[in-house]
Amino acid sequence: MAGNFRAALQGSQDSKALGTIYGSVILSVFLPPRCGNVGIIQRSRFMRTIFVLLLLLAIPWVVFSQPIDTSSFEARRLRLCAVSFGVRGGVGQSSVSFRPYQQGQSGRAFDVGVFVRLRGDMPLAMQMEFGYMRTGYTTREFTARYGMPEDWLGRDLQVTQHWATLPVMGDFAYSIGWFGFRVFGGAMVDYLLGETLQAEGARLAPKLYEGLYHRLGVGVLGGAGLGAVLPIGSIMLEYRGFYRFTDLYRRDRIPMQEDPRQGLRGQMLSLSYYYTLELGR
């Protein structure tokens, strides 16, 4: 009896230790240390990038690896049963969280895009998009950026970015009659096309030198939608939020201060139209 109790206690302690290790790994990916060794910071950013790439690879595997009877030609023909093409557009807001702290306010954002959605014999589907997104925020700079007039320091600075985006998402969709519902999430690769700065009625478009920007980045996104499934296609009203793991700017660390971070995030309310081609029916 006592031996069984000690064994159970030891198993419980091992489970707690495993949970602690697992939790530490997750926190090291999403919550990097606020200051400290530069190598640790770089490894943490590398792990976040690897996480997004694995997510991009996992989505199609999860969607199209559902078990199905493949003993007959008919079953194999039903393996891919729907392909949807569509367009979407949305408006919302975006912001950038700075570390060390820097005053900032959210700005207007919008995005448009085209997509293709692949659904197997299960309710799970994979959606790939290609789009354009504009984000913005307002801040005050006390250290002049490259090419920025010094008299702009300490004044409200409106910043706008232009992006090319490539989201890959998995989603679960379900419909009852004409009513449709979907929940989705996945990863996104983006590329900074341009940035404009505006203050005191003047506008500046700095050159995107690689030493100043992280133009290519990765992030995550997710959301949900409600809509109508009609004979001419599906119309969905969707909410989605996104967060960019990759820092927006390349900034050197100031001694005795936090490591520089600029996390771009935003949320959109969008309208999407899907036209679906049923295959294998």
59 vs 174: which has the higher pLDDT = 174
Question: Rounded distance, CA 270 to CA 267, Å?
Answer: 10
Tokens 């989505």, located at residue:
59
Segment of 17-31, 157-171, 201-215 carrying the highest mean pLDDT: 157-171
Task: Report whether pLDDT(23) > 50.
Answer: no
* pLDDT confidence of residue 59: 57
- Judged by average pLDDT, the poorest of 22-31, 144-153, 246-255 is 22-31
Name the pLDDT band for 136 (thresholds 50, 70, 90): very high
pLDDT tens per residue, range 229-242:
888 888 999 999 99
Per-residue pLDDT, 228: 92
Query: Among residues 162, 152, 163, 142, which one has the least CA distance to residue 203?
Result: 152
- Angle CA 238–227–130, to nearest 5: 45
Question: Per-residue pLDDT for 75 more than 60?
Answer: no
Q: What is the pTM of this model?
A: 0.72
Question: Do 160 and 176 touch, CB atoms closer than 8 A?
Answer: no
Looking at the DSSP bridge assignments, the partners of residue 98 are 262
Position with higher pLDDT, 88 vs 122: 88
pLDDT tens digits, residue range 137-150? 998 887 777 777 77
Mean pLDDT of the chain: 76
Average of pLDDT values for 86-103?
90
Q: What is the mean pLDDT of residues 43-58?
A: 59
Between 61 and 209, the more confident residue is: 209
Provide DSSP, 65-129: ------SSHHHHHTSEEEEEEEEEEEEEEEEEEEES---EEEEEEEEEEEEEEEEESSSEEEEEE
CA 54, 59, 60, 65 dihedral sign is: positive
Instruction: For residue range 193-204, list pLDDT tens digits in order.
Output: 999 988 877 888
Whether the pLDDT of residue 7 is over 60: the answer is no
Q: Which letter does DSSP use for residue 178 in this model? A: T
pLDDT in tens, 96-132: 988 877 888 899 999 999 999 888 666 788 899 999 9
- What confidence category does residue 61 fall into, taking pLDDT thresholds of 50, 70 and 90? low
